[in-house]
Structure 1
Amino acid sequence: MGTDMAAPGQPGCTSYDAIVIGAGIQGSFAAYHLAQRRRDTLLLEQFFLPHSRGSSHGQSRITRSAYPEEHYAHMMPHSFRLWQQLEDEAGILLYSLGPDAVLDAVTLAQRFPGLRPCPGEVALWDSSGGVLLADRALRAVQDAFRRRGGTVRDGEKVLRIDPGAVITVTTAAGLYRAPRLIIAAGAWTNAVVAPLGLRLPLQPLRIDVCYWREKEPGSGGAVTPCFMAMGLPYAPHGIYGLPALEYPGLVKVCYHHGSPTDPEERDRTPPGSPHPHIALLSNFISSYLPGLEPQPAVLESCLYTNTPDGDFILDQHPKYSNIIIGAGFSGHGFKLAPVVGQLLCQLSLGEEPSHCMAPFAISRFPGVLRAAL
């Protein structure tokens, strides 16, 4: 859709009601919510879809209601409702959930024989916890966006953004204009916003995504719940795991942290120890999941984009109020993407946000506004 505003002899420039940069799960949901509100929306992606270069690929993510931060705990019921709406619209299963209870070590081991907790340890069983089928969910929201008239253009890297009452976005393939812009570019966010005079405290991290094989095929070692192990002295950022989905018989167990990286060079082998957290995970596997081999069978990569406090950035550009930024999802944003997309949409339309936005303000970080390049 869109309206061609080119004058004769000039490069084509198509106009929209809104442009979203970044077709990961956050940007895709923002575009979907704009299209729901009948805004003619363009969703731009620098890589050809589908791709595994960012933070939204893979088959599985953990979802849960249990959060130590009150603002996320309040957002999760809303997010579940929006996931259900998308699932109903798409007509396919997008997530599966497990019942709430506190389980001591003995009860936990009886219920899940593959887990061997230490005496005295307890687990909170979150009945809303489970698995989001990530690849399927991303395709579903993008398909729903297209059905509502939205336009997706992939393989178009943004080269320039000219702010104003009407914003012009120049890509490798064209020029686009809109009165509102949402930037949800993941690990590439600072590269996109730096020419707009903004430097956000975002740290891209390369995450080792590890899959561990059963010692005895069919022994049940791969039948584990989603879990998050917190408070381990050798793993201060926590360890999480999901049952076998991507690869039959291989359980996904990862450290919730990684190594600083340039997103353009994520897959280049770094000097020194290329996978510094494998030994940490092997120690955990040997202690808590003894039915699994203590060395990973498959090793893949993903990107986190972390803020210093682990909270998202969902806010207007400090100088250009019609440019909205969603960034810094810090490895826990996928489950909240439906409500994050709605909040970004509401900010771009000048609507009252559905949730308190104070935890996500850019102003909590001093010195981010600089002279435009």
Structure 2
Amino acid sequence: MEQVYDAIVVGAGIMGCSTAYHLVKNNQRTLLLEQFPLPHTRGSSHGQSRIIRRAYGTEGDHFTEMMPEAYKLWNTLQRDSGTPLFRRTGILFCGTEGEPFMTDVPKSLRKHSMSFTSLDSSALREKYPMLRYPSDTVAVEDQSGGILFSDKSLAAFQKEFVKNGGTLRDNEPVVDVLPGDIVIVKTNNGSYRGRNLVLTVGPWATKVLPTLGVQLPLKAVRVGVFYWKEKIPGTYGVDNFPVIIQEFGSRHNHYYGIPCHEYPGLFKFCYHLGPEVDPDNRDDVDESWVLKKTSACVENNFPLLEPVPAIVESCIYTVTPDHNCILDRHPTMRNIVIGAGFSGHGFKLAPVVGKLLCELVMNRKPSYDMSPFRIDRFHKSSKL
């Protein structure tokens, strides 16, 4: 008799791996499928570093609420895998005094009794003379923030998943899904049967979900990942400079930086958005405007960096209109669970997201309020 899995998870990025890990830890026979040979660089979870932080603005207050557990779960994975996954550097939020970005972050931190330090423009210049901002710039420091080692985190979830009895198959793109009480998933290498299906397919959600009758306002965008050389070695090094997030005026001027760690003497600094792409043809897009925009920002705000990047890489975000993710069951096929649209800030939340998707599969009461993540928020006037 052909094996029936309790759950089949499609997509072995960080969300799929975390979900599969939680399922197998809850004694669910779980199959994890990935279309590319692992590891790969075609989706959203590759690379050496991501930011981890507790602080969000009030529109992301639900993420701030999740972050204490996310830290605990990252620590558990780090302990169980025996792999260092995190480095604390602190995180610095910079923006214009009085604008929503710089009022919402401390408001959310206060609400959740999380400590932080506020810096006025004078204190900011004194503490970080390697930054050059307008005179009305202020900052908030969260000392708990830092760097997640993303490649190592992904590998750790996969290792623990397999160690606990899970089945991982890569280089098997899904070619068809046949819904039913038992879902049949067909790949280029065969068919698999499962009582539940979890779709964590990253930017391919824009293609996969419509085939199952789910129309969502998802957009895949290519994000430039740039590394800038220090003019004076050590100026922006991981030992003396924090992760930084800056926003001046609007989300269209939102940038983030990670101190020199991945490559010696190279500071990672990126614009948070980019041009829309087809994930299967991600290189067929002009992102020169992103590089031009980011170079200008580096030249204006980071005087001790060369204004031309030394290394150029890329990533794909899957963005929703409200920048909240989708964690929900299919509207009519209740044994199909969807995790999508993480809008470039999901990686740090992955252990909690995996737990929530696992709870949906197992019909358990979710650990958090799921209303910000439901599909029907985009279809208030209909049933989809």
When normalised by structure 1's length, the TM-score is 0.91
8 Å contact 1:104–1:123 — kept in the other structure? yes
Which aligned pairs between 1:233-272 and structure 2 lie closer than 5 A? Answer: 236-268=252-284, 270=285
Residue 43 (structure 1) shift: 0.3
Residue 108 (structure 1) shift: 2.7
CA RMSD of aligned residues (A): 1.7
8 Å contact 1:211–1:298 — kept in the other structure? yes
Per the alignment, residue 94 of structure 2 pairs with none
State which of 367, 371, 377 in structure 2 corresponds to 1:358: 371
Per the alignment, residue 81 of structure 1 pairs with 72
Per the alignment, residue 71 of structure 1 pairs with 62
Which aligned pairs between 1:333-348 and structure 2 lie closer than 5 A? Answer: 333-348=346-361
Deviations 1:279-330 (A, max 9, x none): 2212211221100011111111100000111000000000100100000000
8 Å contact 1:18–1:39 — kept in the other structure? yes
Residue 221 (structure 1) shift: 3.9
Quote the sequence identity (%): 46
Residue 111 (structure 1) shift: 2.9
2:80 counterpart letter in structure 1: E
Secondary structure in 2 matching 1:260: coil
Residue 368 (structure 1) shift: 8.9
Secondary structure in 2 matching 1:284: helix
Q: Which runs of 5+ in 1 are unaligned?
A: 6-13
Residue 149 (structure 1) shift: 0.4
**Moved segments of 4+, more than 6 Å:** 367-370
Report how many residues are paired.
Answer: 354
8 Å contact 1:237–1:257 — kept in the other structure? no
Q: Structure 1 pair 221/243, CA: closer, same or farther in 2 (3 Å)?
A: closer
State which of 146, 150, 171 in structure 2 corresponds to 1:155: 171
Per the alignment, residue 45 of structure 2 pairs with 56
Q: Structure 1 pair 123/360, CA: closer, same or farther in 2 (3 Å)?
A: same
Q: Distance in 1 between matches of 2:191 and 2:337?
A: 19
Secondary structure in 2 matching 1:267: coil
Residue 214 (structure 1) shift: 1.2
2:216 counterpart of 1:200: yes
Q: Structure 1 pair 143/349, CA: closer, same or farther in 2 (3 Å)?
A: same
State which of 173, 177, 183 in structure 1 corresponds to 2:193: 177
State which of 102, 114, 118 in structure 1 corresponds to 2:130: 114
2:324 counterpart of 1:307: no
Per the alignment, residue 83 of structure 2 pairs with 92
8 Å contact 1:29–1:337 — kept in the other structure? yes
Deviations 1:148-170 (A, max 9, x none): 00010000011111111111100
When normalised by structure 2's length, the TM-score is 0.89
2:248 counterpart letter in structure 1: G
Q: Which runs of 5+ in 2 are unaligned?
A: 91-115
2:88 counterpart letter in structure 1: L
8 Å contact 2:172–2:188 — kept in the other structure? yes
2:334 counterpart of 1:321: yes
2:142 counterpart letter in structure 1: D
Q: Distance in 1 between matches of 2:287 and 2:37?
A: 28
Q: Distance in 1 between matches of 2:55 and 2:42?
A: 29
Q: Distance in 2 between matches of 1:133 and 1:275?
A: 28
8 Å contact 1:204–1:305 — kept in the other structure? yes
Per the alignment, residue 159 of structure 2 pairs with 143
